[in-house]
Structure 1
Amino acid sequence: MSAAAAARDAGPAPDARSAPERPAPDAAVNRVRAVRARGRRRCATVAAVLVVLVVALVVVTLTLGPFKVALVDVVRILGGEQIPGATFIVMEQRLPRLLVALGVGAAFGASGTIIQTLVRNPLASPDVIGITAGASAAAVLGMTVGGLGAVAVAPVAFGGALVTAAGIYVLARRGTISGYRFVLVGVGVAAVLNAVTAWGLTRAEVTEASRALVWITGSLSRASWDQVPVLWAALAVLLPLAALAALRLRALELGDDAAAGLGARVEPAKAGLLVVAVALAAVATAAAGPVAFVAFLSGPLARRLTGGGVSLGASALTGACLVLAADLVATSLLPTALPVGVVTGVLGAPVLLWLLARANRSGEGG
C-alpha cells in the first residue's frame, strides 16, 4: 500500500485547535493563589469593619444611658481627670460592664464557631447542646443549696461546663464524633440539666431564687472590676490557643478522611479543639451567665460576611458586637432595663427555628 493510500484510510489529521485547551500548571496555581488572596482580603476587610463597629458601640455605650456623658468628658475621664458624678458612672459602672461584655462576646463567638465547624452542624453551639446548661445547673445549686456568693459561683459554673462537655463527648463518641449524634446527645443532656436547675430554684428562698434567675438568664448587671482581670487573663491564654487550633480546624472541616490524608491526627485534634471551645464557653458563662444564642449566631453571621470561610477572629468580633448591641438595647433603648440574655434570646430563637425548618425540608434533620 502506498503512503498516500495509508494516509487516506487513516482519515484527516486531528486539528490541534479543536482539542480542549488545558490550563498550564502554573496558570492553575495562579488561580488558586488569586482565590486565596481574595479570601484573605475579604476577611481582612470584614475584620476591619467589625473593629470599627465595636469601637462605635463602645463609644455609644460609654456616652449613652440614663445619665448621658459627653464624648469629650469620657475622653477626659479615661485620661485620669475627675469629673464629679460622671467619673463614677464611667469608671465604676459602664467601663467594667463594657469590658466584661467584650470578653464574653468574643469568647462565646469563638467557642460556638469551633464546635459548629468541628461537628459540621450549625446547631452545635454551647447554648444548644447543653454546655451552658451544665454551668447554669452548677451555679444555681451553688447559690441556692451551697449559699455561694457571686465571686465563688464563677469557678463552680466553670467546672459544671467542663464536666457536662466531657459527659456529652463520652456519650456521643463511638469511634468518631457524628454531628447529629453530638447535637442530639447534647439536647438530651441539656433537658436533664434544665430540670436540675428548676429543682434548685424551687428549693431556694425567694431572694436566692431571684438572684439565680437573673444569672441564668444572662446578665451583665453584676459586672465589676473584680471580674475583668480574671476574664481577660483567661482569654489571653485561650484566644491564642484557639487561633492555633484554627489551623487544624481548616483541615477537619474537609472531613475526617481528608484531614487524615493531610496528615492530621483527627481524634486528638478534635479533643483538643473541644477542650479550648468548652473552656471559652465556660469562662464566658462564669462571667455573665449563659447569654443565649451569642455562640449560636456568631459563627453563621461571620461565615456570611467572610464568604463562607472559617475565621475565628471575625466570629469573636461578631460575638462582641452582638453582646454590646444587645446590652445597649436592653439598658438604654427599652422602657425597662432587661438582662442582656433576654434580647439575645429574642434575636436567636427565630434563627434556630429557621435552621430547624430548613434542615427538615432538605431531609437533613433525620
Structure 2
Amino acid sequence: MQRSRIALFVLSALVGSVALTGCDQAAEQSQASAPKAVPVGVITVKSQALTLKKELPGRISAFQIAEIRPQVSGIVQSRLFVEGNEVKQGQALYQIDPATFEADLAASEASVARAEASIASSKSKASRYKELLKIKAVSQQDFDEADAAYKQANAELLTAKAQLKSAQINLDYSHVSSPISGQISKSSVTVGALVSANQSTALATVTQLDPIYIDLTQSSNELTQLKKAISSGALTVDSASQTDVELIMEDGSIYPHKGTLQFSEVTVDPSTGSVTLRAKFSNPEKLLLPGMYARASIVEGVKAGAILAPQRGVSRNSKGEPTAMVVSKDNTVESRVLKVDRTIGSDWLVTDGLSDGDKLIVEGLQKIRPGAPVNPSEIQSSAKADQAQ
C-alpha cells in the first residue's frame, strides 16, 4: 500500500514536469516566431519658409557697342588712339585730311558775306522806291521789282548760311571721334587709307564693358508655372530680393558682384520656346566679356510650409515614382509615394506625400519592409550638421 502511494506521487511529479517543459517550449517558439523591431535612423521633417531660386543659362553681352565709321570721304592722316586701350566719349580717334573741307568752309563764308552785301544794297533800293512810289516818282512795277530783289537777297543769305553750316559739319566730321566711352578694338585701316562716307566696314569698334549685361533664357512653361504659383499664393514675392541676381562663372565660382534684373521679354522665341531675361552687372575688373557663357541664380519667391526630404531617404519604385519609408504611430514602416519639385542642395523639395512631423527613415532601409516593426532613433540631418559647424 505504501509502495503504491510512492509510485503514484512519482508519476504525478513526472507528468507535471513534462507539462511545464511543454509550456516553456511553446512560449519560446512563440517569441521566436514574432518579428523583432529593427533599429532605424529617422529624421523628423519640418515645414519651413523657403526662398526658391532658379538657375538659368545665359550669355554675356556688352552694355553698349559703337562701330566707328567715317561720315565724310577722304584720306586718313593720322590714328589718334592705342589699339585695345580705353577711350572716352568725344575723344578723337582718326583725322581725315581736312583741306577740302576747309576750302568748302571758306567758300561758304564768302557766299554768306556776298549775300549780306546784296541784302544791304537791295534793302536800300527797296526803301527808296517805297518813298518815291508815294509821290508817283516811280512806277508800281519798279517798286515791286526792287522789293522782290530784297526778298530774294534774304533767301540767298539763308541758303548761304545753310551751306556754311554744312561745310562746318563736314569739317568737324573729318575729326572722327568716339560716341561712347569704352575699350576700343584694333584698327581696320592705317594712315594713308582712303575711306568713304558711311562705308560698310567699320574703322574700329568701341565696347563698353562696365556695366555689362547677361541675357538669360527661361522656358515659357517654367515662367507660366511660376506666374500661376504666385497668383495662387503658393509663392510670395519680395520685390526687393526678386531683382537680385547671382552669377555663376564658367569655372563654377561665384561672381563677386550681384546684379539686378532689368526686364523680361514679352514674346516667346518660337524656335526654342523660351523667353529672355536681361540682368545688369557691374564689371570693374573686366572679368566678364561679351560672348562668355554663364549661369545666373534668380529668386522666384518664398514658399511657405515647404517640406525638405534628404535624397538618401527617397528612392524610386517600379513606376519611377519617388517613394519614402516613414514610421507610423505604432512604430511600423509605412511606404509613401511622393511628389517632388526640385533638388535643393542634398534635399528634395516635396510637394505631396510628407507632412510636418513625419519621421522619415534614412538609415537601415535595406533591413525593413512596409508593415515591419521598427525601433526609430533620431539622427542629425546634414543641413543641421552644417549649421552646427
Q: Using structure 2 for the length normalisation, give the TM-score.
A: 0.17
Q: Decide which structure has greater helix share.
A: 1
Q: Which has the larger radius of gyration?
A: 2
